[in-house]
Each structure stands twice: as structure tokens, then as C-alpha cells.
Amino acid sequence: MKTDGVKLGALLVFVAIALGAFGAHALKNILSAHYLEIFETAVRYQMYNGLGLLAISALARKLDRAKILIFVGSLVFSGSLYALALSGIGIFGAITPIGGVLQLAAWALVFFSKKEN
């Protein structure tokens, strides 16, 4: 299965920008400083992975598994932090490491991949 990493990366970046603006403007007077910091962490990591996915897609076409892991890992990691920040329900914080492990696995796949010619 071919993964369009450019589109997935662009989607992560677009949503990170939109949620970052939402957090900076709409949530700054609603969330406590603690939960606003959690929300900002989710946006930051989502942006990092979106940009990384764009870079991988530009440089390597054969890293479909890594692209999927980055995308899903970003959804789980940042999504659980968004849910925690907006709801205050602590169990969402327990889900976050799963997304982090998926992201680490993706970047390990990139590191250990063979160079394309």
C-alpha cells in the first residue's frame, strides 16, 4: 500500500497550525496554565512530526510503514494530550506514551532504512 506522506504531513501541519491558533486565542482564558501547557505540547509535537513526515516523503518513497507510524503516532500522542487538556480527565495522559512509542518506532525505521538510489 502506497502512503501519501505529503498529504498526511500537510494535514498534520495544517491542523497543528489551526489548533495552535485556537489554543492561543480561544483557550488562553479558559484553560489553566497547566492544561494550556499540555495543549501547547500536543501542538508542538504534532508540528514536529508533520514536518518530519513531509521531509521523509520528499527524500524516501519506500518508507510507507514509517509514514503510517508517524501519522498514527501523532494522532494518538497529540490527540490524547488535546483530550487531557480540554477535559482534565487524567486517563488520557496514560494513552499518550503509546503515541510516543509509535513515533519512536517510525523514526527508528527511518534511521535503519537502506539508502535509496
How would residue 117 be classed by pLDDT, with cut points 50, 70 and 90? Answer: very low
| Integer Cα distance of 6 and 20 in angstroms | 21
Q: Is residue 19 part of a domain?
A: yes
Q: Is residue 53 part of a domain?
A: yes
Is the confidence at residue 31, as pLDDT, over 80?
A: yes
How would residue 88 be classed by pLDDT, with cut points 50, 70 and 90? Answer: very high
Q: Is residue 101 part of a domain?
A: yes
Q: Is residue 12 part of a domain?
A: yes
Q: How many domains does the chain have?
A: 1
Mean pLDDT of 10-34: 93
Residues 97, 99, 102, 104, CA torsion sign = negative
pLDDT of residue 57: 85
Q: How many other C-beta atoms lie within 10 A of the C-beta of residue 69?
A: 24
Q: Is residue 100 part of a domain?
A: yes
Domain that holds residue 19: 5-112
Q: Is residue 50 part of a domain?
A: yes
pLDDT of residue 116: 58
